[in-house]
Amino acid sequence: MTAPAEVQSKDWGQLIVCAVLVVVGVFLIYDALTLAGGYAKVDPVGPKLFPLVVGAGLLVCAVLLAVAITRGSKGEADGGEDIDLDTPGDWKTVGLLIGLFVATIVLVDPLGWAITGGLLFAGAATILGSRHYVRNLVIGGLLSVGSFYAFYSGLGIPLPAGILDGIL
Protein backbone atom coordinates (compact mmCIF):
# COMPACT_ATOMS: atom_id res chain seq x y z
CA MET A 1 0.00 0.00 0.00
CA THR A 2 1.15 3.47 -0.75
CA ALA A 3 0.47 6.52 1.36
CA PRO A 4 -1.54 9.31 -0.21
CA ALA A 5 0.64 11.95 -1.82
CA GLU A 6 -0.98 14.79 0.07
CA VAL A 7 -2.73 14.73 3.40
CA GLN A 8 -6.16 16.30 3.36
CA SER A 9 -6.62 19.02 5.92
CA LYS A 10 -9.95 19.96 7.38
CA ASP A 11 -11.62 23.00 5.91
CA TRP A 12 -12.03 25.07 9.07
CA GLY A 13 -13.96 27.79 7.26
CA GLN A 14 -16.75 25.37 6.37
CA LEU A 15 -16.74 23.91 9.89
CA ILE A 16 -17.17 27.43 11.27
CA VAL A 17 -20.15 27.85 8.94
CA CYS A 18 -21.60 24.64 10.42
CA ALA A 19 -21.13 26.01 13.94
CA VAL A 20 -22.79 29.32 13.02
CA LEU A 21 -25.72 27.44 11.46
CA VAL A 22 -26.14 25.42 14.66
CA VAL A 23 -25.99 28.52 16.88
CA VAL A 24 -28.51 30.45 14.77
CA GLY A 25 -30.79 27.39 14.44
CA VAL A 26 -30.79 26.75 18.19
CA PHE A 27 -31.41 30.43 18.87
CA LEU A 28 -34.36 30.53 16.45
CA ILE A 29 -35.92 27.42 17.97
CA TYR A 30 -35.43 28.69 21.53
CA ASP A 31 -36.75 32.13 20.65
CA ALA A 32 -39.78 30.65 18.85
CA LEU A 33 -40.64 28.45 21.82
CA THR A 34 -40.51 31.45 24.19
CA LEU A 35 -42.38 33.76 21.80
CA ALA A 36 -45.58 35.21 23.17
CA GLY A 37 -48.53 34.77 20.83
CA GLY A 38 -51.56 36.92 20.35
CA TYR A 39 -50.33 39.47 17.81
CA ALA A 40 -52.46 38.24 14.95
CA LYS A 41 -55.89 37.05 16.01
CA VAL A 42 -56.73 35.56 12.61
CA ASP A 43 -53.57 33.47 12.15
CA PRO A 44 -54.34 29.74 12.51
CA VAL A 45 -50.70 28.65 12.88
CA GLY A 46 -49.39 31.43 15.11
CA PRO A 47 -46.08 33.26 15.09
CA LYS A 48 -44.02 30.24 16.20
CA LEU A 49 -44.28 28.09 13.08
CA PHE A 50 -42.00 30.01 10.73
CA PRO A 51 -39.02 30.41 13.09
CA LEU A 52 -39.35 26.76 14.16
CA VAL A 53 -39.27 25.58 10.54
CA VAL A 54 -36.32 27.85 9.68
CA GLY A 55 -34.41 26.85 12.84
CA ALA A 56 -34.95 23.15 12.18
CA GLY A 57 -33.90 23.64 8.55
CA LEU A 58 -30.69 25.35 9.67
CA LEU A 59 -29.89 22.46 12.01
CA VAL A 60 -30.50 19.92 9.23
CA CYS A 61 -28.28 21.93 6.84
CA ALA A 62 -25.55 22.14 9.50
CA VAL A 63 -25.59 18.36 10.02
CA LEU A 64 -25.59 17.62 6.27
CA LEU A 65 -22.74 20.08 5.66
CA ALA A 66 -20.70 18.66 8.56
CA VAL A 67 -21.13 15.12 7.23
CA ALA A 68 -20.10 16.24 3.73
CA ILE A 69 -17.03 18.04 5.11
CA THR A 70 -15.90 15.04 7.16
CA ARG A 71 -16.22 12.85 4.06
CA GLY A 72 -13.82 15.15 2.21
CA SER A 73 -16.22 17.26 0.20
CA LYS A 74 -14.89 20.71 -0.66
CA GLY A 75 -16.60 23.63 -2.27
CA GLU A 76 -15.55 24.59 -5.75
CA ALA A 77 -13.58 27.77 -6.22
CA ASP A 78 -15.50 30.63 -7.73
CA GLY A 79 -15.07 30.76 -11.44
CA GLY A 80 -16.73 33.02 -13.91
CA GLU A 81 -16.17 35.62 -16.49
CA ASP A 82 -17.09 38.52 -14.24
CA ILE A 83 -15.14 37.47 -11.14
CA ASP A 84 -11.55 38.50 -10.53
CA LEU A 85 -10.22 35.90 -8.10
CA ASP A 86 -7.12 37.96 -7.36
CA THR A 87 -9.03 41.00 -6.09
CA PRO A 88 -9.51 41.05 -2.32
CA GLY A 89 -12.93 41.48 -0.74
CA ASP A 90 -14.38 44.92 -0.15
CA TRP A 91 -14.20 44.97 3.65
CA LYS A 92 -15.00 48.67 3.85
CA THR A 93 -18.44 48.08 2.32
CA VAL A 94 -19.04 45.05 4.57
CA GLY A 95 -18.06 47.09 7.64
CA LEU A 96 -20.31 49.98 6.67
CA LEU A 97 -23.27 47.63 6.12
CA ILE A 98 -22.67 45.95 9.50
CA GLY A 99 -22.55 49.40 11.12
CA LEU A 100 -25.81 50.30 9.37
CA PHE A 101 -27.51 47.14 10.67
CA VAL A 102 -26.27 47.81 14.21
CA ALA A 103 -27.52 51.40 13.99
CA THR A 104 -30.90 50.08 12.82
CA ILE A 105 -31.11 47.74 15.82
CA VAL A 106 -30.23 50.57 18.21
CA LEU A 107 -32.52 53.20 16.64
CA VAL A 108 -35.65 51.21 15.76
CA ASP A 109 -37.27 51.57 19.19
CA PRO A 110 -36.66 55.28 19.83
CA LEU A 111 -37.17 56.50 16.24
CA GLY A 112 -39.62 53.85 15.04
CA TRP A 113 -39.62 51.62 11.98
CA ALA A 114 -40.84 54.25 9.52
CA ILE A 115 -37.81 56.48 10.09
CA THR A 116 -35.22 53.80 10.85
CA GLY A 117 -36.35 51.58 7.97
CA GLY A 118 -36.14 54.50 5.56
CA LEU A 119 -32.61 55.25 6.74
CA LEU A 120 -31.74 51.55 6.46
CA PHE A 121 -32.95 51.25 2.87
CA ALA A 122 -31.45 54.59 1.78
CA GLY A 123 -28.18 53.92 3.62
CA ALA A 124 -27.80 50.45 2.12
CA ALA A 125 -28.42 51.78 -1.39
CA THR A 126 -25.87 54.55 -0.85
CA ILE A 127 -23.25 52.20 0.64
CA LEU A 128 -23.72 49.81 -2.28
CA GLY A 129 -23.02 52.56 -4.78
CA SER A 130 -26.13 54.60 -5.57
CA ARG A 131 -25.34 58.32 -5.69
CA HIS A 132 -28.95 59.49 -6.00
CA TYR A 133 -29.29 60.53 -2.37
CA VAL A 134 -32.72 62.16 -2.54
CA ARG A 135 -34.16 59.27 -4.56
CA ASN A 136 -32.66 56.81 -2.05
CA LEU A 137 -34.39 58.63 0.81
CA VAL A 138 -37.72 58.85 -1.01
CA ILE A 139 -37.73 55.17 -1.99
CA GLY A 140 -36.51 54.18 1.49
CA GLY A 141 -39.29 56.22 3.09
CA LEU A 142 -41.94 54.70 0.83
CA LEU A 143 -40.67 51.17 1.51
CA SER A 144 -40.52 51.64 5.27
CA VAL A 145 -43.94 53.29 5.61
CA GLY A 146 -45.43 50.74 3.22
CA SER A 147 -43.98 47.83 5.17
CA PHE A 148 -45.11 49.46 8.44
CA TYR A 149 -48.72 49.50 7.25
CA ALA A 150 -48.43 46.09 5.57
CA PHE A 151 -47.37 44.52 8.85
CA TYR A 152 -49.88 46.46 10.96
CA SER A 153 -52.94 46.34 8.70
CA GLY A 154 -52.28 43.24 6.66
CA LEU A 155 -50.74 40.95 9.27
CA GLY A 156 -51.91 42.57 12.50
CA ILE A 157 -48.32 42.84 13.76
CA PRO A 158 -47.42 46.22 15.22
CA LEU A 159 -43.98 47.59 14.38
CA PRO A 160 -42.51 50.28 16.64
CA ALA A 161 -43.80 53.74 15.75
CA GLY A 162 -41.21 55.57 17.86
CA ILE A 163 -41.44 59.35 17.70
CA LEU A 164 -44.19 59.11 15.10
CA ASP A 165 -46.53 57.37 17.57
CA GLY A 166 -49.97 58.88 17.10
CA ILE A 167 -49.12 60.18 13.63
CA LEU A 168 -48.90 56.84 11.82
Which of these three, 26, 43, 71, is where a domain ends? 71
- Does 95 share its domain with 159? yes
pLDDT band at 79 (very low <50, low <70, confident <90, very high): low
Considering the domain architecture, whether residues 65 and 126 belong to the same structural domain is answered as: no
Q: Are residues 45 and 103 in the same domain?
A: no
> Does 107 share its domain with 155?
yes
Same domain? 63 vs 98: no
pTM: 0.60
Rounded CA gap, 51 and 139, in Å? Answer: 29
Q: Are 25 and 58 in contact (CB under 8 A)?
A: yes
Assigned domain for 25 exists: yes
Q: Residues 107, 66: one domain?
A: no
Per-residue model confidence (pLDDT) at position 122:
96
- In the chain, the number of structural domains is 2
Confidence of residue 7 (pLDDT cuts 50, 70, 90): very low
Range of the domain at 34: 12-71
In the predicted structure, residue 145 carries a pLDDT above the cut 60: yes
Regarding whether 104 and 50 lie in a shared domain, the answer is no
